[in-house]
């Protein structure tokens, strides 16, 4: 299914005039230099092929991409490419210190043998010139050539080389292309029925490499491969075990490499170690653009600098319009949002992760585009909770939720997310796009961060909410909503609201509210700039085993309310909350779900304090103006 969807997208890309992709038997590759030859095979010049590319505020020189003959996959083996390879293969030059003194010579010999073999079948001056150059070139005397010596340092740095003859690329020579395609299709390939196209065609023994998956092999990783005896079936080895034609293998790999490349205008999404690509069964790129916007509503993220994020207000306005439709149960008008988009267009989402042998498919999802939009908006609806500050985003991206699994003291948060929570990224994305419950591991990770983190002091000495913040509490609410949505009864439904529910009497929720009141009593008595509040010292224990902590906290509160100007009001609030509890008010322990409800009760009550303070400030300001 994956290969077929990618191959179909390859056919769409081939019809797109704005996209330059490789044809079957070819692949797109960066090329750094061209060896310009004369018709007699003499080296005239080495021409740099770099192009300026804007990277943030900087302009960088990068190799130009060309459609070159399909390249082989290499690990430690000697395997040459046709007419495009690095300086070690093309010229027999290397800057590596290797144990094998014939390291470069062996690779040049392999390149020379392959290229002369293929070019000898072409009746072309360009083919003859390249053959003569390869026959006459001696890697041992390459340093004596002034042209090579002038570019020696640049050549040893790596990068692919191609051949020009009289400043005309050999890659465009029709006769050379003919012999290459004949060689590619007839190199002893067995013909079988292709699993993708259903036609009897030459079967690919090895599939092309896939580049662009974060932390995978930079030289290209395999999506399909059979490299052990355990994977063989009835004597069929390698690609014959799962027959895919050379044409289909080339097509799906070109499409996937395009989706993973910078040429694709729709950027990849990173979730932990998972690289997510997405496409529609349509040439209209607005489907993918809208999908990316829905999953990144609060900022736009670039691969070059993941810390360079900025709010996208237009995206948030669009999200609000979609959210209103979802909340009211009205059908989404995708056509109006995307100016002519069809909600029934088939859409695909593929999550890939690196592995030692081949790429790991974390998930592959396909639905009509409108279904994905509704599920994403339902995800944001589940996350809705009262904000701590008005300038906080209304829609929390999956990346921001995942980032809360990492300590705020970590400097390189992206690396920590990749290494520590690699599986959670793919699981979270799959839950969002399928509407399934969120992964339990992510809930446990959030609870653990609440247990271990402590609030930080800002420049003014005031505490900044790190331990229990907007994002963490929003996820706890959403997680419990989804967990019990498919069950007959949700015991915590009344707590899973946007704001405070004063009538809900579940002990965990009431105790969370009580803890917030006791914390406020301490701050009213001792001021805001306290080195260690009761939250810093007692919250973890109070959340897990209330009976061991709350008696102590209530005794302390008597001292705090006695010093506070409004201590009587706080005392009455404490008594109101205690009256909501049963005769045995403090449970010995709370389950993991109940600990989440405790956190929600605390957050709701604290937010209610801030709301009342802001309302009082507005009332006093109005009275002063009148």
Q: List pLDDT tens digits, range 263-322.
A: 888 888 888 788 999 999 998 888 898 898 888 875 443 343 444 444 455 555 666 666
Give 331's DSSP letter.
P
User: Residue 604 has which token pair?
Assistant: 């709701």
pLDDT-derived band at 21, boundaries 50, 70, 90: confident
Query: Both ends of the chain: CA-CA distance in Å?
Result: 70
| Residues in Cβ contact with 220 at an 8 Å cutoff, skipping those fewer than 6 apart | 71, 73, 208, 209, 210, 211
| Length reported for the chain | 626
Cβ distance 472 to 595 under 8 Å? no
pLDDT of residue 305: 41
Three-state SS at 54: strand
Average pLDDT value for the chain: 84
Question: What distance in Å separates the CA atoms of residue 153 and residue 351, rounded to the nearest whole number?
Answer: 39
Given a cut of 50, whether residue 347 has pLDDT beyond it is: yes
- Average pLDDT rounded to a whole number, residues 473-478: 96
* Residue found by looking up tokens 């005031």 in the block: 462
| 206 and 239 Cβ atoms separated by less than 8 Å | yes
pLDDT of residue 319: 60
pLDDT at site 86: 93
User: Confidence band (pLDDT; 50, 70, 90) for 350?
Assistant: very high
Residue 397 token pair: 């991206």
pLDDT of 461 above 70: no
Binning pLDDT at 50, 70 and 90, where does residue 335 land? low
User: What average pLDDT does this structure show over 152-175?
Assistant: 93
Long-range CB contacts (within 8 A, 24+) of 452-459:
452/407, 453/407, 453/408, 454/536, 455/533, 455/535, 455/536, 456/408, 457/529
Residue 277: the pLDDT is: 94
**Higher model confidence: residue 473 or residue 241?**
473
The better pLDDT of the pair 243, 582 is held by 243
User: Measuring CA to CA, which residue among 537, 522, 531, 513 is closest to residue 606?
Assistant: 513
How many helices and strands, by DSSP H and E, does the chain display? 22, 15
585 or 274, which is more confident = 274
Cα 116 → chain centroid: 43
Among 341-355, 462-476, 555-569, top mean pLDDT goes to: 341-355
- Biggest alpha carbon–alpha carbon distance for the chain: 101
> Average pLDDT, stretch 88-108?
89
* Range 287-312 burial, b when 16+ CB lie within 10 A, else e: bbebbbbbbbbbeebeeeeeeebeeb
Angle formed by the axes of helices 125-136 and 174-185, nearest 10°: 70
How far apart (Å, rounded) are the C-alpha atoms in residues 319 and 395? 8
The more confidently predicted of residues 317 and 224 is 224
Question: Has residue 336 got a pLDDT over 70?
Answer: no
Angle formed by the axes of helices 550-563 and 534-544, to 10°? 150
Phi, psi of 138 (to 5 degrees): -120, 110
The confidence score (pLDDT) of residue 330 equals: 55
Task: Mention every residue, 6+ apart, whose C-beta is less than 8 A from residue 52.
Answer: 59, 60, 61
Give the number of C-alpha atoms closer than 13 A to the C-alpha of residue 482, restricted to the C-beta side: 24
The beta strand positions in 157-297, using DSSP E, are: 160-165, 168-169, 191-193, 200-202, 269-271, 274-280
Which is more confidently placed, 466 or 414?
466
Res. 233 pLDDT band, cuts 50 70 90: low
Q: Which residue has the higher pLDDT, 205 or 276?
A: 276
pLDDT beyond 50 at 624: no
- Within 8 A by CB and 6+ apart from 187, the residues are none
In this model, does residue 40 exceed pLDDT 80? Answer: yes
Cβ within 8 Å of residue 16, ≥6 positions away: 283
Report how far residue 258's alpha carbon sits from residue 26's, in angstroms, rounded to the nearest whole number.
13
pLDDT of residue 172: 92
Across the range 61-89, mean pLDDT stands at 88
Band (pLDDT 50/70/90 cuts) for residue 514 is very high
Distance, in Å, from the CA atom of 537 to the CA atom of 229, rounded to the nearest integer, reads 58
- Mean pLDDT check: name the lowest of 7-11, 435-439, 556-560: 556-560
pLDDT of residue 422: 67
Q: Which pairing describes strands 456-457 and 463-464: parallel, antiparallel, or unpaired?
A: antiparallel
| % of the chain at pLDDT higher than 70 | 84
Residue 168 has a pLDDT of 94
- Answer for the pair 532, 568: CB distance below 8 angstroms, yes or no: no
Asked if 564 and 573 count as a contact pair (C-beta separation under 8 A), the reply is no
């Amino acid at each position: 299914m994956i290969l077929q969807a990618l191959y179909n997208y390859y056919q769409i890309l081939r019809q797109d005039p704005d996209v330059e992709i490789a044809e079957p038997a070819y692949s797109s590759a960066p090329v750094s230099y061209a060896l310009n030859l004369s018709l007699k095979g003499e080296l005239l010049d080495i021409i740099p092929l770099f192009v300026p590319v804007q990277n943030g505020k900087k302009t960088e020189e990068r190799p130009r991409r060309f459609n070159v003959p399909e390249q082989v996959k290499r690990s430690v083996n000697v395997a040459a490419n046709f007419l495009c390879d690095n300086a070690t293969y093309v010229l027999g030059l290397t800057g590596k210190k290797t144990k094998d003194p014939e390291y470069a010579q062996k690779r040049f010999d392999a390149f020379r043998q392959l290229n002369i073999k293929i070019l000898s079948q072409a009746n072309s001056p360009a083919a003859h010139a390249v053959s003569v150059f390869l026959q006459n070139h001696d890697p041992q005397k390459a340093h004596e050539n002034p042209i090579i010596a002038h570019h020696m340092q640049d050549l040893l740095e790596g990068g692919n080389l191609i051949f020009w003859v009289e400043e005309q690329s050999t890659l465009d020579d029709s006769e050379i292309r003919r012999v290459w395609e004949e060689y590619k299709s007839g190199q002893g390939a067995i013909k079988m029925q292709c699993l993708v196209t259903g036609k009897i065609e030459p079967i690919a023994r090895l599939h092309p490499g896939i580049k662009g998956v974060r932390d995978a092999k930079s030289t290209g990783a395999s999506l399909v491969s059979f490299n052990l005896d355990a994977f063989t079936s009835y004597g069929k080895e390698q690609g014959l075990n799962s027959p895919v034609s050379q044409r289909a293998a080339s097509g799906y790999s070109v499409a996937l490499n395009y989706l993973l490349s910078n040429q694709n205008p729709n950027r990849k999404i990173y979730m932990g170690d998972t690289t997510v690509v997405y496409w529609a069964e349509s040439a209209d790129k607005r489907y993918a653009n809208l999908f990316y916007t829905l999953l990144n509503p609060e900022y736009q993220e670039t691969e070059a600098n993941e810390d360079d994020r900025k709010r996208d207000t237009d995206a948030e306005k669009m999200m609000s319009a979609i959210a209103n439709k979802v909340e009211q149960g009205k059908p989404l008008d995708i056509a109006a949002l995307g100016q002519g988009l069809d909600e029934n267009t088939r859409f695909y989402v593929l999550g890939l992760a690196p592995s030692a042998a081949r790429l790991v498919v974390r998930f592959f999802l396909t639905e009509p585009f409108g279904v994905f939009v509704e599920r994403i908006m339902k995800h944001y609806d589940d996350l809705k909770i009262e904000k701590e500050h008005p300038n906080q985003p209304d829609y929390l991206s999956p990346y921001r939720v995942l980032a809360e699994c990492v300590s705020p003291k970590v400097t390189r948060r992206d690396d920590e997310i990749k290494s520590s929570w690699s599986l959670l990224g793919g699981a979270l994305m799959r839950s969002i796009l399928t509407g399934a419950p969120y992964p339990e591991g992510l809930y446990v990770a959030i609870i653990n961060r609440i247990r271990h983190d402590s609030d930080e002091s800002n420049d003014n000495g005031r505490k900044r909410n790190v331990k229990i913040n907007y994002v963490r509490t929003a996820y706890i609410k959403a997680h419990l909503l989804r967990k019990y949505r498919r069950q007959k009864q949700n015991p915590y439904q009344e707590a899973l609201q946007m704001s405070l529910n004063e009538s809900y009497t579940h002990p965990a929720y009431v105790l969370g509210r009580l803890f917030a009141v006791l914390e406020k009593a301490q701050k009213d008595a001792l001021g805001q700039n306290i080195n260690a509040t009761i939250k810093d010292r007692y919250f973890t224990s109070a959340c897990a085993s209330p009976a061991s902590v709350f008696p102590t906290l209530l005794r302390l509160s008597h001292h705090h309310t006695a010093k506070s100007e409004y201590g009587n009001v706080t005392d009455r609030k404490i008594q109101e909350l205690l009256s909501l509890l049963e005769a045995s008010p403090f449970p010995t322990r709370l389950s993991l779900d109940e600990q989440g409800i405790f956190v929600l009760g605390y957050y709701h009550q604290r937010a209610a304090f801030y709301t009342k303070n802001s309302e009082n400030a507005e009332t006093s300001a109005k009275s002063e103006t009148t």
